[in-house]
Amino acid sequence: MFRLDHDMARRFLYVELRGFWTREVLARFHDEAGLVLQRAIASGATPGEGHILVNANGFPVQDRTIAEEIARFIPLYGRLAKRIAVVGSDSSLQRLQAKRLIGENGKLFDNDEAAKTWLFSADRTDTAHAGTGRAYNITARSAPDRYASSMTGF
Rounded CA Rg of the chain? 14
Classify residue 136 as exposed, middle or buried by CB count within 10 Å of its CB (0-12, 13-18, 19+): middle
Inside any domain, residue 152: no
| CB-based contact 140:113 (threshold 8 Å) | no
Please give the Cα distance from 16 to 123 (Å, whole number). Answer: 25
Domain extent, residue 29, equals: 2-144
Q: Is the pTM of this model over 0.95?
A: no
pLDDT tens figures, 42-92: 888 888 888 999 998 888 888 989 988 887 777 677 667 889 899 987 778
| CB-based contact 127:136 (threshold 8 Å) | no
Which residue(s) pair with 15 in the sheet? 4, 54
* DSSP structure string for 115-132: HHHHHH-S---SSPPTTS
Inside any domain, residue 117: yes
What is the β-pairing status of strands 12-18 and 50-58?
parallel
> How many domains does the chain divide into?
1
pLDDT tens figures, 6-41: 998 899 999 999 999 999 999 999 899 889 988 988
Q: Looking at residue 58, which CATH number applies to its domain?
A: 3.30.750
Inside any domain, residue 150: no
